[in-house]
């Protein structure tokens, strides 16, 4: 068994770290306060190759492995999870879904500009009444011959405003329930699409989240991904990989909070010595370090399985559930170690804590991950 | 124009420095190695010159003196965009030894960048020494460089201001911070292509060293801050005069 990274993987990790610690840090607090989309960072990350990391160079991606993706996601998320969720959705939901299941025409037309980062993608699955229960889709796509007529509402859509390319999960045959679900590529500027207001979120405030309303939106048949009825399998397969991205994001939030708490504990004095010398704090840091290391190992294991072409759905569910839950715990402890300073924005850890909360909710709640894991366990 | 950038392989600047038991050598165990920060800025400037519209720069080569384990640092330079790397297979023993090794790789270049110093031993000697060995003109403390037709325009930081001068090539530019704004982050594609770029390994020339290190010591730990209240003016003056001895 080999736990060593390759030279290239280490360089990618360092590149992500350099970008995060040098550039993202500059305006992360301001963008959090004003909920401003990081347009300039997305452009710079695209130029560096982070927006289509795992897409084959044949489709203008970088062709990296999932292990590199985990390393990059962790480093970006240590500083700015709003930026890393934009990277994650584009990479592991939209680009992955198109590359794995799209046809050649769709890949050339839609995947290439997404992999280059010239355009951004969004993945539209959640609905006002269908979140964790993805089978009850109410957005309909009615067959009108050479096009579908799409109607309905999607909720909590990351990149909704900044994206040009949507992948929309629709119901094409309600009688067949989840076997009647179909995935469509929809261009955001299609007539009949309107966006709800920007969601005023607790964390990840620099990413743009909206609901998206479809009112008689015409989508050409050639934009269907796979056959009719393939949409549910498509969504589940894509989310298997998506979980690695969000698990790594949660890992980064936790390890970023641990780094900040460790540095603070070595500086801050109380009762005549730095607080790191008090066992109450030192043991907290030990517990946090073990959790972060466990989360990292789960993320890397899932990524490694994916790279080896082996089944990774359970591994990625475990990584997502565990990393998200410990991200909440570790960031909360980081705030506690910082005391009053942890509760003010300047010290970043309160933001990491707010952002960690979302990793337990989106791309499958921790509870949904446990359904996946326990079903496998009880087979 | 062909550019050569000399690359030092140095410990990451956040490394906790330790020495061996008799304090005669740096303990490299567990150290992460990076491109010397001045050299990284020089490489960034070299890439900017090459990529500028209408650029006359044909190639950027990087070179170092070091064992095989320093190749990761050279490949980072290739990932950033250098076209070719040269490694002289020897330990970097002292400035004269390193300059002597590099002298043989410096032939045929129009512009050679050397960092003003390396962040490990801060010797600040290789660039000047190398220029002397090559009989090449050199300019030190270069903080800006523009390539013009047949010459370069250089900015130097001097006491109380800056100086602009022009110099003919071939030239050794010994560069200071400011030569590039920030070191370039390699793009993913550059990282993936680094291994396919040429990395030539040369055997060292037989040269003596001129310096032997007697011992190393860590700087004394920083004393804790002392705070004085408004009423303690006397104590403050006493501390400044008798303890800190600055008055």
What gap in Å lies between CA A179 and CA A228, rounded to an integer? Answer: 9
Tokens of B236: 């403050």
Q: What is the pLDDT of residue A362?
A: 95
pLDDT lower than 70: segments of chain B: none
Q: What is the pLDDT of residue B191?
A: 97
Question: A262 CB near a chain B CB, below 8 Å?
Answer: no
Say yes or no: A147 and A205 in one domain: yes
Say yes or no: A358 and A245 in one domain: yes
Could you give the number of structural domains in chain A? 3
Assess contact for A61 and A53: CB atoms under 8 A: yes
E-state strands within chain A: 121-124, 140-143, 147-158, 165-171, 181-187, 193-195, 209-220, 224-225, 269-270, 273-274
Q: Which of A189, A208, A232 is the last residue of a domain?
A: A232
Q: Which of A120, A147, A177 is the last residue of a domain?
A: A120
Q: Which of A104, A293, A363, A367 is catalytic?
A: A363
* Rg, Å, chain B Cα set: 21
Q: How many pairs of residues across A and B have Cβ atoms under 8 Å apart?
A: 42
Say yes or no: A178 and A75 in one domain: no
Assess contact for A167 and A93: CB atoms under 8 A: yes
Say yes or no: A130 and A204 in one domain: yes
B215-234: pLDDT as tens digits: 999 888 877 778 888 888 99
Question: A9 CB near a chain B CB, below 8 Å?
Answer: no
Assess contact for A251 and A77: CB atoms under 8 A: yes
- Specify the CATH number for the domain of residue A157: 2.40.110.10
Q: Is residue A171 part of a domain?
A: yes
Separation in Å, CA of B76 to nearest CA in chain A: 7
A107-148: pLDDT as tens digits: 999 999 999 999 999 999 999 988 878 788 999 999 999 999
A269-318: pLDDT as tens digits: 999 999 999 999 999 999 999 999 999 999 999 999 999 999 999 999 99
Phi, psi of B194 (to 5 degrees): -55, -40
Q: Is residue A160 part of a domain?
A: yes
Reported ipTM? 0.90
Q: What is the pLDDT of residue B244?
A: 83
Percent of chain A whose predicted confidence (pLDDT) is above 70: 100
In 3-state terms, what secondary structure has residue B107? Answer: coil
Q: Which domain holds residue A98?
A: 7-120
DSSP B130-197: HHHHHT--EEEEEEEEEE-SSEEEEEEEETTEEEEEEEESSEEEEE-TTSSSSPPPPPHHHHHHGGGS
Nearest CA in chain A to B192: A8
User: Number of C-alpha atoms within 13 angstroms, CB side, residue A48?
Assistant: 24
Residue A105: pLDDT above 90?
A: yes
B152-195: pLDDT as tens digits: 999 998 889 999 999 999 999 999 999 999 999 999 999 999 99
- Specify the CATH number for the domain of residue A55: 1.10.540.10
What gap in Å lies between CA B23 and CA A332, rounded to an integer? Answer: 43
Q: Is residue A1 part of a domain?
A: no
Phi, psi of B61 (to 5 degrees): -110, 150
Q: What is the largest CA-CA distance in chain A?
A: 78
Q: Is residue A75 part of a domain?
A: yes
- Specify the CATH number for the domain of residue A347: 1.20.140.10
Mean pLDDT for chain A? 96
- C-alpha angle A207-A356-A15 in degrees, rounded to nearest 5: 65
Nearest CA in chain B to A49: B188
Residues in chain A: 379
| Alpha helical stretches, state H, B52-145 | 71-80, 95-103, 126-134
| Domains by residue range for chain B, with CATH | 2-219 (3.40.50.620)
Task: Using alpha carbons, select from A64, A63, A130, A86 the residue that is nearest to residue A249.
Answer: A86
């Amino acid at each position: 068994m080999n736990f060593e990274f390759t030279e290239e993987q280490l360089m990618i990790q360092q590149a992500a770290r350099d970008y995060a610690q040098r550039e993202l840090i500059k305006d992360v607090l301001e963008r959090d306060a004003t909920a401003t989309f990081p347009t300039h960072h997305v452009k710079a990350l695209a130029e560096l190759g982070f927006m289509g990391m795992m897409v084959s160079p044949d489709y203008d991606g970088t062709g990296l492995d999932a292990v590199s993706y985990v390393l990059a996601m962790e480093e970006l998320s240590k500083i700015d999870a709003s930026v890393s969720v934009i990277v994650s959705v584009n990479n592991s939901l939209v680009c992955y879904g198109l590359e794995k299941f799209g046809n050649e025409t769709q890949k050339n037309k839609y995947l290439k500009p997404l992999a280059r980062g010239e355009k951004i993608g969004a993945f539209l699955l959640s609905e006002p009444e269908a979140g964790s229960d993805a089978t009850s889709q109410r957005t309909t796509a009615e067959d009108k011959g050479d096009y579908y007529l799409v109607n309905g509402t999607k909720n909590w859509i990351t990149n909704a405003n900044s994206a040009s390319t949507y992948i929309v999960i629709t119901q094409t045959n309600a009688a067949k329930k989840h076997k009647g679900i179909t995935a469509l590529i929809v261009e955001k500027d299609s007539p009949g699409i309107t966006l709800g207001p920007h969601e005023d979120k607790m964390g990840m405030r620099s990413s743009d989240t909206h609901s998206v309303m479809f009112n008689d939106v015409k989508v050409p048949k050639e934009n269907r991904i796979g056959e009719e009825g393939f949409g549910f399998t498509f969504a589940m397969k894509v989310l298997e990989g998506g979980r690695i991205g969000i698990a790594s994001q949660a890992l980064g939030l936790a390890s970023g909070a641990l780094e900040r708490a460790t540095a603070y504990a070595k500086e801050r004095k109380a009762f005549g010595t730095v607080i790191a010398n008090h066992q109450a704090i030192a043991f907290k840091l030990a517990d946090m370090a073990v959790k972060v290391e466990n989360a990292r190992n789960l993320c890397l294991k899932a990524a490694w399985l994916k790279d080896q072409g082996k089944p990774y759905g359970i591994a990625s569910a475990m990584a997502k559930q565990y990393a998200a839950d410990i991200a909440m715990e570790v960031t909360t402890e980081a705030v506690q170690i910082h005391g009053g300073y942890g509760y003010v924005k300047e010290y970043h850890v309160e933001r990491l804590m707010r952002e960690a909360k979302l990793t337990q909710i989106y791309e499958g709640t921790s509870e949904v991950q446990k359904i996946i894991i326990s079903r496998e366990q009880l087979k | 124009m062909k550019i050569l950038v000399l690359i030092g392989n140095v410990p990451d600047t956040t490394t906790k420095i330790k020495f061996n038991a008799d304090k005669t050598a740096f303990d490299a165990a567990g150290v992460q190695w990076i491109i010397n920060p001045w050299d990284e800025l020089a490489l960034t400037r070299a890439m900017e010159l090459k990529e500028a519209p209408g650029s006359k720069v044909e190639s950027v080569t990087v070179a170092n003196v070091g064992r095989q384990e320093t190749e990761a640092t050279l490949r980072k330079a290739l990932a950033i965009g250098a076209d070719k790397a040269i490694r002289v297979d020897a330990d970097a023993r002292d400035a004269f030894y390193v300059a002597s090794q590099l002298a043989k790789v410096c032939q045929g270049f129009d512009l050679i960048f050397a960092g003003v110093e390396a962040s490990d031993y801060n010797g600040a000697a290789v660039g000047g020494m190398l220029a002397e060995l090559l009989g090449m003109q050199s300019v030190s403390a270069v903080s800006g460089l523009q390539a013009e037709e047949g010459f370069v325009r250089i900015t130097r930081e001097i006491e109380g201001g800056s100086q602009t001068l022009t110099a003919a090539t071939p030239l050794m530019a010994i560069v200071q911070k400011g030569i590039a704004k920030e070191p370039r982050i390699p793009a993913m594609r550059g990282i993936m292509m680094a291994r396919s770029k040429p990395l030539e390994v040369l055997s060292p020339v037989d040269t003596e060293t001129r310096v032997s290190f007697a011992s190393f010591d860590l700087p004394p730990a920083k004393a804790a801050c002392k705070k004085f209240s408004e009423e303690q003016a006397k104590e403050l003056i006493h501390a400044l005069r008798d303890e800190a001895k600055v008055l």
